[in-house]
Structure 1
């Protein structure tokens, strides 16, 4: 079922890096490859590529092929004194006008003319974020009133259909069948 939950959702920035680093430089466009991720990005592949996960089990499926983050978080962080911009927190696609954290697992994001990314879960921010800016981890991960961890550093997904993605591209949301499952860290 397709829901018109984000009539104005767009791609604000796209980023990739062929080397391990926390931030990813902005690009004019990126190319998503079905089943792999972002072409030329260090995290692309069928099996997990994040160093901590590779150390535990390099044969795990890569549920983190594409990292998406909402610019509304960047805006909030800038209002609190941060200088963060698209790609600097490691995301591949920076969005605008879409409540990424409110999407259920299995949501399909149709991005641009051809690309489709299926949402697999939440990004679990780590201490590396402190290397970018002191105090940032506490602003993107915290606890709610009940003591549960709240992660706000974006979502992860796998590429179902490849294609070019560039700033200004529209994003169409296709929700999975109900009942919906809330996002959990992957």
Structure 2
């Protein structure tokens, strides 16, 4: 595998943690090219700013990509995407990428620990426990990704469980209780490397 395409939010843009995980992944997987379509503050649905579906509307899918790495869901919680809208969005995104590059692998990464006040709400809290303005916790989006993974047949990288970032060590691995710092990205990069090599045939 020499070429991958990333679709994600600010955790994937490289603007945090001294460059994020892209360079780590490029080195560990010996990649020649990385297309990075990540947009800060974005989610999957069109209800979020420049969400992934809008990115797909505006940017041709790279047909030479051998792997699509999608990391969305966290900002759908923040902005309050509807669950039916989110479910349909997952299917639309997967269908469009597969149609453009039928032989490419596709993996989706689950949201990590986050402590913040979601849009339109008055109180901050842990995203996996705190309902957003539409009454959904991050766990609801996580569980929908699990359901979609089974329904549509793509693997999940369960970053929530595997990276080991939680409330008691968040100050060590997150810059602001949302975005990873360098140490956090080192944990994330190791998980991505291991799981991509486990899931992908190349």
Name the TM-score, length of structure 1 as normaliser: 0.30
Normalized per residue, which structure has more strand?
Answer: 1
Name the TM-score, length of structure 2 as normaliser: 0.29
Q: Which has the higher contact order (CA 8 A, sep 6+)?
A: 1
Normalized per residue, which structure has more helix?
Answer: 2
